[in-house]
Amino acid sequence: MSDAKRRAFAERLGRAELISAPGVYDMISAKLADRMGFDALYMTGYGVVASHLGLPDAGLATYSDMVSRVGQMASMTQTPLVADGDTGYGGLLNVQHTVRGYENAGAVAIQLEDQEFPKKCGHMLGRRVVPPEDMAAKIRVAVDSRSDRNFKIIARTDARTTLGLDEALRRAEGYLEAGADLLFIESPESVEEMRRIGRTFGVPLVANMVEGGRTPVLDAATLQEIGYRLAIFPALGFLAAGAALEAAYSGLKAKRSSAGLDVRLYPFQDFGAVMGFGRVAEFDEKYRGADVRKG
C-alpha cells in the first residue's frame, strides 16, 4: 500500500497542477480529510505536538513521538501522507534513522528544515538556522537513506525571516544541488517575494498557507501561476476545531446542558461511521453466537 501511495504522489507531482493538502494532526482530522478525495494530506508538526503533547512546536517532540503518529495516520488512511520531520531530530546519523523510519511508517514524503535545534514554528520570530553546508549534508544523507526513489525529500529553509530572501534562495539552491525533490522557502512576506521564488526555481515548490501567519494566503489559481506545486494548510483544521470547541464548550458552561445550543454538530451516527462502527457491526453480525475457539 505504501509503495502504491508513493507512486501515486510522485505521478501527481509530475502534473502542472497545484496539490492542496490539508493539515491533519490527529486521527479524527486524518480520517475526516481522508474521505474527501484530496491528493495528499499533510501531517503538521505544530498540530501533532499540540494535540499529542499539549505543547508548543518548539523542538519538544521526539522522533519517537512523531514517527508513531506517522505510522498511525498512514496506516489508517488511503490518501498519500506528507510528514513534517522537523530538523531530522539530531545529526546526520539521526537524519538517516528518521528518513528510514518515516518511509517504513508509510509516509510518501518527509520535510526537513535547516533550523538550529530546538526549532520553532516557521511563522514565529527568533528562528535561527544552521550553516547551509550542514543542511546540505543532511539532504544528501536523506536522499541516500531512502529505499524508494518515489519517497520524496522536501528541503525547507527558514532563513528568510532572520537573514533575508536572498540568503534563503541561495540556501535553497544548495539544497536542490544536494538532491532535494521539492523546495520549501518558509514564510515569504509578500506576493512579490513568492513570485520571485517561483521565478528562481523550476522544480516543485511548497507554499505554506498559514491563516494569520507571515505569508499571504493566496487562491489556488494564483499559487499555481506563481509556480507552486504543493500548497499545505497546516493550521486550517486545528484552528477550525479550536473555534468550534470553544463555542460548544462556552455554550455548555453557560447553559450547563447541550439542549438548545446554537452550534453546528457533526451528526452522531455519521461520526460513528467515519470511526468505523459499521465494520464493528459487520463483525458482530458475522461472529455473533459463533464458537471462535473452534478451528
Delimit the domains of the chain by residue range.
2-241
- What CATH code would you report for 2-241? 3.20.20.60
Give the C-alpha separation, 205 to 184, whole Å: 6
Of 105-109, 246-250, 272-276, the range with the lowest mean pLDDT is: 272-276
Q: What pLDDT shows up at residue 16?
A: 86
Any idea which of 155-159, 160-164, 283-287 has the lowest mean pLDDT? 283-287
Averaged confidence pLDDT in the chain: 93
Q: Which of 197, 158, 156 is nearest to 176 (CA)?
A: 156
**Would you place residue 58 in the very low, low, confident or very high pLDDT band (cuts 50, 70, 90)?**
confident
Global model pTM greater than 0.85: yes
**What does the pLDDT read at residue 132?**
97
Is residue 97 very low, low, confident or very high in pLDDT (cuts 50, 70, 90)?
very high
pLDDT tens-digit series, residues 249-279: 999 999 999 999 999 999 999 999 999 888 8
Dmax (CA) for the chain in angstroms is 70
The one-letter amino acid at 200: T
Would the pLDDT of 101 be above 90?
A: yes
* More reliable by pLDDT, 283 or 75: 75
Q: In the structure grid, which three cell numbers stand for residue 40, read together?
A: 495528499
Mean pLDDT, to the nearest integer, of 149-175? 96
pLDDT at position 121 over 70: no
Q: What average pLDDT does range 273-295 have in this prediction?
A: 76
pLDDT tens digits, one per residue of 6-42: 999 999 999 989 999 999 999 999 999 999 999 999 9
Q: What is the pLDDT of residues 128-155, one digit of tens each?
A: 899 999 999 999 999 999 999 999 999 9
Percent of the chain with pLDDT over 90: 86
Cα–Cα nearest to 201, from 170, 162, 223, 232: 170
Poorest-confidence range of 46-60, 144-158, 203-217, 232-246?
46-60
Cα distances (Å, whole numbers) of residue 4 to 9, 10, 78, 182, 234: 9, 10, 10, 20, 24
